[in-house]
Amino acid sequence: MKRFLSLVILVFGSMWFFLLLQCDRPTEPARENTPPNTTLANIPQPGDTLFPLVQIIWDGEDSDGYIVGCEYRYTSHHIHRGDSAVFDWIASDDEILDLVFESSDSLNRQELEVRAVDNEGDKDPTPAKLTFYTPRTFLPQTEITAPEDGSALFVKEETSDWWPGILLTFQATDEDGEITEYGWAVDGGEFTWTQDTAVYITPEDLGPTPEGEHTLSVTARDNTNLVDPDPAAVTVRLVQPTFSKTLLIIDETNEDAFPGSADATDAAVDSFYHALTGLQSSWDYADQGIPPRDTLGQYQLILWHADNPLSTRPHELVNNVDILQDYASVGGDFILGGWGILKSFTWEAGFPRTFEEGTFVHDFLHINEANETALYPSDFTGAVGIGDEFSDISVQSSKLTTFPYQGKLSQVDLVLQMGGFTRPIFAYIGEESDYVGKIVGTRYYGTSFNAVVLGFPVFFIEDSDAAVLMSEIFRNMEYTTLAEGVSSP
């Protein structure tokens, strides 16, 4: 037994000694990696003339490893111009390459090289080559249709049912193909691709500071996979409303167009509205134009009055609906009153008029159909207040003694059909049976904004009645402090 154990120990000891000797022996040099080989497996054939969007199918072989991808490059020789465009190697792990070749000359010779890359990172030292020709192609050209470069827009911290974001609209043309999709970006970020021609830029897209200047860019891609290399861009200034003040009066009334008997000056009209509102100032549209968004965004409520009769052109209100829509969409309330307010929105089409969805009158005033009373004979002597909140009012006949008015108003806007969440607040008083009882004042109750529309000029209402009217409108719109500050002119 002892002899057997000694033999076992001797054998294992010899094996351990042998292994130690092996570890000390130098190893043989590692075998060098063999670079891969590349082949092109598809049409086009050498010398073909092809559309610049070419599909290339390549294959690679590696005797001592495996293929992980390829690299490709090409040179575009402009045959008639005599110059060339050289493009550097681009890596890809796709087996099928859809390549768009630069083709700015009337005829272009394309020299393509493709080389396989193996798992050791070695590249085929003799790339597969292909030469073919392409005709001239035209790149897409992109245009931003809205907003305008340099414009100001309201912005909120979050979207709502009335304010889904900044509307960006665009279009593109392509002389030799079709536009398939558009890419938009904010402040130089990555493009987001869409087939739509309009998107809303949300506060999340604008980054941590939505307010301030932002650059909006749009590019386009055509059916040959060519992309507009010079994206259209606009810079906009976004204003976040504070609504820190209560009321802004916008005075668009043209006293020179008043009936002769009114004999009112700009100071007299200003005084009239200052008494009705408790304010001592107003924004004169004739001198200052439309208030900028920086100003509008400070006020919770706008009172816009245009009390002169229309003659050769509509009120300027119709030329500023974009800013009014923007203001209302972010939560601003407004009161519109005057002589021919609704008539201004249908200046060329005339009355009666149905206002379609998508128009300011339909979507923001919530009036679907309207008409106007005749110029002669004048018939409007006042209005019945509808409901407990509103009192009757009468025309101040002493301001309307000349022909054709003779103590009454004419060309009063009549609301024939209202939109949702809208109620009548005044109805026509006069002798003409076709007009009596028709709606001449409306109140819209909205989730984002509230609106009152008066189809008659408040300046020609009896002073005491006008004071009651304005006080009741303020109170109904929940501007209690304003209601308490009203006095008779």
**115-137 pLDDT per residue, tens:** 999 999 999 999 999 999 999 88
Phi first, then psi: give them for residue 252, nearest 5 degrees. Answer: -110, 5
Average pLDDT, whole number, for the chain?
92
Instruction: Write down all domains in the chain, each with its CATH number in brackets.
Output: 37-135 (2.60.40.10), 141-239 (2.60.40.10), 245-484 (3.40.50.880)
**Tens digit of pLDDT for each residue in 389-420?**
999 999 999 999 998 999 999 999 999 999 99
Q: Is the pLDDT of residue 113 over 50?
A: yes
Backbone angles phi, psi at 197, to 5 degrees: -105, 15
The pLDDT score that the predictor gives to residue 29 is 58
Neighbouring residues of 404: CB distance < 8 A, sequence distance ≥ 6: 375, 376, 377, 378, 410
CA pair distance 100, 345, nearest whole angstrom: 51
Cα gap 307→274, rounded to integer Å: 15
Neighbours of 68 (CB within 10 A): 16
pLDDT of residue 43: 66
Say if residue 100's pLDDT is above 90: no
pLDDT tens, residue by residue, 340-395: 999 999 998 889 999 999 999 999 999 999 999 999 999 999 999 999 999 999 99
Calculate Rg over the CA atoms of the chain.
Answer: 39
Sheet with 53-61, edge to edge strand ranges:
37-40, 53-61, 96-100
pTM metric for this prediction: 0.78
Query: Residue 111 — φ and ψ, nearest 5°?
Result: -115, 105
Q: Are 455 and 441 in contact (CB under 8 A)?
A: yes
Among 56-60, 79-83, 257-261, 386-390, the minimum mean pLDDT is found in 257-261
Q: What is the pLDDT of residue 52?
A: 85
Is the separation of the CB atoms in 443 and 422 below 8 Å?
yes
- Separation in Å, CA 139 to CA 103, 228, 359: 10, 6, 36
pLDDT band for position 427 (cuts 50, 70, 90): very high
Q: What is the DSSP string of 195-241?
A: S-SEEEE-TTTT-S--SEEEEEEEEEEETTS-B-SS-EEEEEEEE--
- Mean pLDDT confidence for 283-308: 97
* DSSP string covering 294-345: HHHTTEEEEEEEE-SPPSSS--GGGGGHHHHHHHHHTT-EEEEEESSHHHHT
Query: What is the predicted pLDDT for the residue at 226?
Result: 82
pLDDT tens-digit series, residues 443-455: 999 999 999 999 9
What does the pLDDT read at residue 16? 44
The pLDDT value recorded for residue 412 is 97
Q: One-letter amino acid identity for 413?
A: D
